[in-house]
Amino acid sequence: MAGRSLEKITEALYSYLLGELTRAELSPRWRRQGDALPYVVYEFSSAAWVQTTNQVTNMVTLSVNFSCVAATVAEALDVADEITAAFYQTVTESRITFQMVDINMRTLDAVPDDGTGDAERIIVVTTTFLTHDET
């Protein structure tokens, strides 16, 4: 049950974000250097099934890192804002409910900026969701 449930959660998250992101392409795990900007790469950093006294429930606490990559900080922030706005309220996709319970952001440079201004800018949005599989 646990493996199948996590697979469904992954598919539901991807499906939902495909419909919500208008400013960037979405990819799980990685993109090739040189791909068109902006884009979002996401990966799961942790998943923990919520347990009661003697059993595992159908709820999972899930942490996801979204790396918003763009040519400028402002453009990366626009994409990050689009991701956070997508989860301001509880969301249900494919009978999986996502409730954002925590969010953090940080700014990175993809490569050292030598002053030419061509370094990609990255905003990493780390979210924690409480998810519920309604099936």
The answer to whether residue 58 scores a pLDDT higher than 90 is no
- pLDDT tens sequence across 75-117: 999 999 999 999 999 999 999 999 999 999 988 765 555 555 5
Position of tokens 């969010």? Answer: 103
What type of residue is 1?
M
User: Cα–Cα distances in Å, from 82 out to 20, 59, 79, 87, 114?
Assistant: 8, 25, 5, 9, 29
Show the tokens assigned to 118.
């061509």
Give the pLDDT score at 122. Answer: 86
- pLDDT tens sequence across 3-28: 457 888 889 999 999 999 998 989 88
Over residues 35-47, the mean pLDDT reads 89
